[in-house]
Amino acid sequence: MAKAITHIEKHIPDHVEEEAQAIQQILEAAAKHRDALLSFMDVLEELKQLGILDAIQGALKNSKQIALIGVDQLNKPGAHRIIKNGMGAVSFLSQMEPGKLQTLLNGVIAGVDHAVDPGAAQKKPGLWDMFRTIRQPEAMSSLNMMTRFLQGMGSGLNNRH
């Protein structure tokens, strides 16, 4: 007749065996995902060469101080308005067509360049000089655009109320 099992001996791995098993699992996973790991290591090397990893490491080590500075800056007068205005500006820019905005900004840049040109400000223009300037095609284009802008802005303001 068979003898009854009264004691089961369970093998509990010691610390060295657990480490060896963990290392083996890591090596198997690394071998399985070799290409991805090599690509990731290339990206890490590029970040290291650019100094980004050092910056991230410094930020993480000093995160408490950085957070305190950030909170202090947010508690300054006007900080909340700056954030709200920034969000409003982003919303405004997201609604504009990039081509139209670029055309407008190019015109503003050219206007500023012309306005601060030291050669043009040698004499003060008289009233008749101003009228002659207004009749020039460039000035007429700007006035026409400003008039259309004011009409559109007025229309937008009337629709709001």
The answer to whether residue 160 scores a pLDDT higher than 80 is no
The answer to whether residue 9 scores a pLDDT higher than 80 is no
pLDDT, position 1:
64
pLDDT digits (tens, 9 = 90+) for 105-130: 898 898 888 878 777 666 777 888 88
For residue 110, CA distances in Å to 75, 101, 113, 116, 150 come to 39, 14, 5, 10, 21
The C-alpha atoms of residue 92 and residue 101 are separated, in whole angstroms, by: 11
